[in-house]
Amino acid sequence: MKKLIVVACTLFFALQAYSQSSLTFCTFVNSSNQECIFENTKFITTRDSTKARIFMLLRSAQVYGTSKLIFKIYGIDRFDKEVFLFDITQEVKEEWMNSWQPASFTTPGKYMVKVYKEDNTLITSRGFEFYNL
């Protein structure tokens, strides 16, 4: 019974830490006030665009407690399965609570971004979509 209580408490606190971070997508981040410009999860590009660039803004209620963030980018295939595409490592200060990272995408579609600490602890995840006009 004690083991069950310990496991339940561990899961509760892990979920609390996980839910206290948010990932937003925007076309630009104003560095002076960390404002997300044109925040959305659906973006439109023209057919003649060779790539689309978005900013991934990570906000946390607590300090990161890590010196690196890893943004893992997945494409969502037609069967709704995640297919790993690439990752971006960002150097951060352990006391930071906010950061942003730009990324470029060459094809329209659905994407999932998962953000991890350098010890492979998942911080948060969120999806977005690109469409052609």
The CATH code of the domain that includes 32 is: 2.60.40.1930
With 0.85 as the threshold, say if the pTM is over it: no
Return the pLDDT at 52. Answer: 86
Compute the distance between CA of residue 46 and CA of residue 65 in angstroms, rounded to an integer. Answer: 40
- Whether the Cβ atoms of residue 66 and residue 56 lie closer than 8 Å to each other: no
Binned average pLDDT, 10 residues per bin, the chain of 133 residues: 48 50 94 91 85 93 95 96 97 95 91 96 95 85
Number of structural domains found in the chain: 1
- Whether the Cβ atoms of residue 96 and residue 67 lie closer than 8 Å to each other: no
| Domain housing 47 | 2-132
Return the pLDDT at 70. Answer: 97
Return the pLDDT at 9. Answer: 41
Return the pLDDT at 106. Answer: 85
Helices (DSSP H) in the chain: which residue ranges? 2-19
Return the pLDDT at 32. Answer: 87
